[in-house]
């Protein structure tokens, strides 16, 4: 019903207004100097269901870099390139309870297999597995998959990449440990180049909402009516997103929001709502949600973004539990 749909979008605008100011209580991820310059009061949201119905509000069209959200895409790309068993031989499927860039377990638990692909150690390993011999070819694997899902070539933020490349000492340390333990299929500098470039791919909330939608349909793109990746990969990555996608707040997020999601330190959150049989609302056939709010909390998640998602899950009963 177009009239009530229009009303829903007006509500969405009100909710964005309500949570926007929360950003002023947080900080942008200034350990990557270029991200420190983002506007803390930005907040935007984009929702799209499997019929193509869209709802958006606030700063939904402000570009931001994928950062850790790229870990979802490179994992899918690596599974497509090498097969699930090959990838899971080098990275586990367990949450850690450590910070996303923590190094501690790589030495503590021999042989240092990364716990999951949603933390940096796991994501760097996965990136090294992508098809291709050169960093350019490996990066292309992830780019091509994004392009297929959002229908255009995403832009690249050279400024963020340079800023992070220069300050990536911790990621370098992680990569050297992984190399020492035999988990990397690339040279350290090459894999860092690919990993940090994939983090610097630029998107809007609409782009990640589209990817969230395809995940919700188990790899099927309902807009272009084609299977982009197999259902098995979709189920695996959604399990990883639910248990590890929101860093050390993944448990609380699962309990209080209850849907697979992945955040990035740039303030983006990509969430995926599965189809539901027992409810009657706009999103019963599943939807993708993209959020951007650059001020983050101590775990690295968008402050206003997570509160907005909590609100949405109350209103629409999104939780899978
Ligand atoms: N590029 C960032 C890093 O490696 C991504 C981290 C994140 O979004 N959590 O530190």
Residue-wise pLDDT tens digits, 124-140: 999 999 999 999 999 99
* Residue 112 Cα to ligand 1 middle (Å): 20
Give yes or no: residues 239 and 271 share one domain: yes
What's the gap in Å between 282 CA and the centre of ligand 1? 34
| pLDDT at 2 exceeding the cut of 60 | no
DSSP code string of 80-110: HHH-HHHHHTTS-----SS-TT--HHHHHST
CATH code for the domain in which residue 150 is found: 3.40.710.10
CA of 207 to the centre of ligand 1 (A): 19
At 14-43, the pLDDT tens digits run 999 999 999 998 899 999 999 999 999 999
Asked if residue 219 and residue 197 are part of one domain, the reply reads no
Q: Which atom of ligand 1 is nearest to the CA of 101?
A: 10
The whole-number average pLDDT for the span 94-118 is 84
Tokens matching residue 255: 């309990």
Whether residues 135 and 282 share a domain: the answer is no
Please state the rounded mean pLDDT for residues 221-242: 97
Q: Which atom of ligand 1 is nearest to the CA of 264?
A: 8
Q: Which atom of ligand 1 is nearest to the CA of 170?
A: 10
SS (H, E, C) 103-130: CHHHHHCCCCCCCCCCCHHHHHHHHHHC
Percent of the chain with pLDDT over 90: 87
> What spacing in Å lies between the alpha carbon of 229 and ligand 1's midpoint?
25
The range of the structural domain enclosing residue 54 comes to 2-66+202-316
Q: Give the mean model confidence (pLDDT) for residues 225-236.
A: 98
List all residues whose CB is within 6 A of at least one atom of ligand 1. 67-68, 100-101, 120, 164, 171, 199, 264-265, 300
Q: What is the pLDDT of residue 4?
A: 60
**Strand, helix or coil at 214?**
helix
> Over the stretch 246-273, which tens digit does the pLDDT of each residue have?
999 999 999 999 999 999 999 999 999 9
> What's the start-to-end Cα distance of the chain, in Å?
28
Q: What is the mean pLDDT of residues 304-318?
A: 95
At residue 102, the pLDDT reads 85
- Mean confidence (pLDDT) of the chain: 94
**Catalytically annotated residue among 46, 143, 195, 220:** 195
Residue 268 confidence (pLDDT) = 98
Confidence band for 282, pLDDT divided at 50, 70 and 90: confident
265 is catalytic: yes
- Give me the catalytic one of 38, 68, 200, 266: 68
Active site residue 179: no
Strand order in the sheet with 261-263: 54-58, 44-49, 287-292, 268-273, 261-263
Contact predicate 273/287, CB 8 Å = yes
Domain ends where: 201, 218, 252?
201
Say if residue 210 is in the same domain as residue 288.
yes
Alpha helix (H) residue ranges in 151-293: 158-166, 169-180, 188-199, 205-216, 231-244, 250-256
* Cα–Cα distance for residue pair 215/260, rounded to 1 Å: 9
To the query of whether residue 68 is one of the catalytic residues in this protein, the response is yes
Tell me how many domains the chain contains: 2
- Residue 107 pLDDT exceeds 80: no
Distance (angstroms) between ligand 1 centre and the Cα of 100 equals 8
Whether the per-residue pLDDT at 11 is higher than 70: the answer is yes
Half-sphere exposure of 200 (CA within 13 A, CB side): 20
Weakest-pLDDT range from 120-134, 186-200, 275-289: 275-289
Higher pLDDT, 19 or 4: 19
The answer to whether residue 321 is domain-embedded is no
Structure tokens, 166:
């220069």
What gap in Å lies between CA 230 and CA 79, rounded to an integer?
Answer: 10
Output the CA angle 186-179-244, nearest 5 degrees: 90
Q: Alpha carbon of 192 to those of 72, 116, 170: distances in Å? A: 17, 18, 11
Domain boundary among the residues 150, 183, 201 is at 201
Query: What is the distance between the alpha carbons of residues 287 and 259, in angstroms, rounded to a whole number?
Result: 11
Contact predicate 246/99, CB 8 Å: no
Task: Tell me, yes or no, whether 34 lies in a domain.
Answer: yes
Using DSSP's 3-state secondary structure scheme, residue 280 falls into coil
Q: What are the binding residues for substrate?
A: 68, 120, 164, 171, 195, 247, 265
Whether residue 184 lies inside any domain: the answer is: yes
Please identify, among 156, 171, 201, the residue that sits at the C-terminal boundary of a domain: 201
Contacts of 258 by beta carbon, 8 Å cutoff, 6+ apart: 313, 318, 319, 320, 321
- Binding-site residues: 68, 120, 164, 171, 195, 247, 265
Q: Which of 74, 120, 161 to mutate to test the pocket of ligand 1 (most atoms within 8 A of CB)?
A: 120
Q: Is 195 a catalytic site residue? A: yes
Query: Residue 51 falls within a domain, yes or no?
Result: yes
- Which candidate in 16, 46, 70, 71 is catalytic? 71
Q: Which residues contact 8 (CB under 8 A, 6 or more apart)?
A: 55, 282
Mean pLDDT value across residues 198-223: 98
Of ligand 1's listed atoms, the one at least distance from the Cα of 123 is: 4
Average pLDDT over residues 292-305: 96
């Amino acid at each position: 019903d177009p009239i009530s749909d229009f009303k829903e979008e007006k509500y969405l605008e009100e909710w964005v207004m309500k949570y926007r100011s929360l950003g002023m209580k947080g900080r942008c991820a200034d350990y990557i100097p270029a991200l420190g310059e983002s506007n803390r009061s930005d907040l935007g949201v984009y929702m799209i269901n499997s019929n193509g119905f869209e709802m958006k509000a606030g700063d939904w069209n402000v570009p931001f870099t994928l950062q850790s959200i790229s870990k979802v895409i490179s994992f899918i790309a690596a599974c497509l390139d090498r097969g699930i068993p090959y990838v899971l031989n080098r990275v586990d499927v367990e949450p850690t309870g450590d910070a996303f860039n923590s190094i501690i377990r790589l030495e503590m638990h021999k042989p240092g297999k990364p716990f999951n692909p949603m933390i940096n150690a796991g994501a760097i390993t996965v990136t090294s597995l992508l098809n291709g011999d050169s960093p350019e070819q490996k990066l292309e694997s992830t780019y091509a998959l994004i392009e297929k899902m959002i229908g255009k070539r995403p832009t690249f933020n050279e400024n963020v990449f340079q800023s992070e490349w220069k300050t990536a000492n911790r990621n370098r340390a992680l990569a050297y440990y992984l190399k020492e333990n035999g988990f990397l299929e690339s040279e350290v500098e090459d894999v860092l180049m690919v990993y940090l470039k994939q983090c610097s791919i630029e998107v809007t909330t609409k782009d990640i909402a589209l990817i969230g939608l395809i995940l919700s349909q188990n790899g099927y793109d309902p807009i272009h009516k084609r299977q982009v990746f197999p259902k098995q990969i979709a189920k695996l990555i959604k399990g990883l997103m639910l248990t590890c996608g929101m860093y050390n707040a993944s448990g609380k997020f699962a309990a209080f929001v209850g849907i697979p999601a992945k955040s990035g330190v740039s303030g983006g959150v990509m969430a995926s709502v599965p189809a539901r049989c027992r409810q009657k609302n706009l999103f019963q056939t599943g939807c993708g949600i993209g959020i951007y709010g650059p001020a983050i909390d101590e775990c690295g998640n968008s402050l206003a973004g997570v509160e907005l998602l909590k609100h949405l899950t109350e209103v629409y009963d999104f939780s899978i539990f």
